[in-house]
Amino acid sequence: MRPFELTAPATVDAALASPGAFLAGGTTLVDLMKLDVLTPRHVLDINRLPLRGIDSTDGLRIGALERMSDVAQHAGVYPMISRALLLSASQQLRNMASMGGNLLQRTRCTYFRDIAMPCNKREPGSGCPALSGANRMHAILGTSESCVATHASDVAVALVALDARLELVGENGSRTVALTDFYRPPGDTPEVENDLRPGELIAEIVVPRLDWAWNSTYVKVRDRQSYEFALCSAAVALDVQDSRIVDARVAVGGVATVPWRLTGVEAALRGAPATPETFEVAASAAADGARPLAENGFKTSLVKRTVIRALHELTEGSH
Ligand SMILES: Cc1cc2nc3c(=O)[nH]c(=O)nc-3n(C[C@H](O)[C@H](O)[C@H](O)COP(=O)(O)OP(=O)(O)OC[C@H]3O[C@@H](n4cnc5c(N)ncnc54)[C@H](O)[C@@H]3O)c2cc1C
Ligand code: SF4
C-alpha cells in the first residue's frame, strides 16, 4: 500500500471541497489500496457526514452511510432488498459496509485486481485477458469487446427492479439520477462505470412506494452457500390477484455488466395466469441478447432457471 493522507471532514461542504477518495466502510477501497489497484494520495473518511437515516413513511429513503446490516433488518424495507443484503458478503462485512459504498464497489474480475495483468478497466487500452482467459464468473449480457466483467452488487439488482434513484450532491448542487441510468455498460470505455462526477457524493437512495413489492424475493445462486458472489441472481416482485399476474418486476445479477432489468420478462408475465407454464414462457426471454464466453455458457440457462425459481417462491401454494 502506498502512503496517503487521511482526513475526516465534518461537513458535506468540507468533503466536497477537498479532492480525494471517499472512505465509508472501507471494505472495497482499502482492499484495492492494499493491492495497489487504487492509489489515492488523499483519503477522506466521510463517516462524520450526516448521510444517515432510514425513512419508510412513503417508500424508502436510505442514507448512503447506513450500514448494510441495519438496512437489512429494518422493518420498512421490501423483502427483495433485505434478502439481497443478507445474502451478501458476511455479517462482519455487512456491519462495516455502507449502502453507498456497496453501489460503488468494483468488479471482482481477478484480472482487474491483479496489477501484473493487463485490464482495460484499470488501465484503458491495455487489453482484456478475460475474453480468452478465465471467464467462468464473467458476464453474458451487456458485454463489449473491451470488458466482460460483472457488476458485483446484490442489492443494486433489487434496487434497479424497484426503480430506485440516487440523490447525488456535488460542488454545483444536488441532482437525482435513476439507478438504471446511473450504471454504464462498458462499451469502449470500461473505466467509466457510472454517472458519478468527480468529487460527487451519493447522499441518499430513494425507493418509490410500491405496495405489492412486499410480495418480493431475491434468489442468489453461487458456488457455496455463504460469503460468495453470485453466479446468477434474480430480484422478483409479483402482484398476483385471483391467480392472475397484474404486474411484475424482474432484474438479474451475476450475469451482466450492470444490474440487468428484464422488461421483456415482466411484459410476458403481466396479465398472464400465475402458473408454471407462464413462468417457463416468460423466463425464456431472460437471456435474450446473451453473448456467452468459452467458460460461462451455462449462465444462459441458469439465468432462466433462477428467474423461474424466484417466481415459484412467490407463488408457492397458489397453483
Ligand atoms: C470478502 C468480500 C465478500 C463480499 N461479498 C459481497 C456479496 O456477496 N455481495 C455484495 O453485494 N457485495 C459483496 N462484497 C462487497 C461489499 O458489499 C462492499 O465492499 C461494500 O458494500 C462497500 O461498502 P463500503 O462502505 O465498505 O465502501 P468503501 O470501500 O468505503 O467504498 C467503496 C467505493 O465507494 C466510494 N464511496 C463510498 N461511499 C460513497 C458515497 N456516499 N459517495 C460517493 N462515493 C462513495 C469509495 O470512494 C470507494 O470508491 C464483498 C466484499 C468482500 C470484501
Ligand atoms: S473483464 Fe473487464 S475488468 Fe476483467 S480484465 Fe477484462 S477489462 Fe479488466
DSSP per residue, 138-152: S-SBS--SS--PPP-
Task: Classify domain 212-315 by CATH number.
Answer: 3.30.390.50
C-alpha cell at 235: 430480484
C-alpha 130 – ligand 2 centre gap (Å): 6
Of 62, 310, 74, 40, residue with least CA distance to 198: 40
pLDDT exceeds 70 at position 238: yes
Q: What is the pLDDT of residue 226?
A: 84
Task: Return the residue whose CA atom lies nearest to atom 5 of ligand 1.
Answer: 89
Q: What is the pLDDT of residue 318?
A: 67
Task: Return the residue whose CA atom lies nearest to atom 3 of ligand 2.
Answer: 112
Q: What is the pLDDT of residue 1?
A: 87
Is 315 close to ligand 1, i.e. is its CB under 6 Å away?
no
pLDDT exceeds 60 at position 15: yes
pLDDT in tens, 71-128: 999 999 999 999 999 999 999 999 999 999 999 999 999 999 999 999 999 999 999 9
Q: Are 300 and 290 in contact (CB under 8 A)?
A: yes
C-alpha 264 – ligand 1 centre gap (Å): 30
pLDDT exceeds 80 at position 168: yes
Of 189, 220, 176, residue with least CA distance to 83: 220
Residues with CB under 6 A from ligand 2: 107, 109, 111-112, 119-121, 128-130, 147-149, 190
pLDDT in tens, 40-76: 999 999 999 999 999 999 999 999 999 999 999 999 9
Q: What is the pLDDT of residue 163?
A: 98
Give the Cα separation of 162 and 112 in Å (integer). 30
Give the Cα separation of 233 and 218 in Å (integer). 7
pLDDT exceeds 90 at position 237: yes
Helix (H, G, I), strand (E, B) or coil at 89: coil
pLDDT > 70 in the chain, percent:
99
User: Rounded mean pLDDT of 27-35?
Assistant: 98
Architecture of domain 1-49: 2-Layer Sandwich (3.30)
Domain limits, the chain: 1-49, 212-315
Which-ligand-closest: CA of 222? 1
Identity of the amino acid at 123: E
pLDDT exceeds 60 at position 319: no
pLDDT exceeds 90 at position 225: no
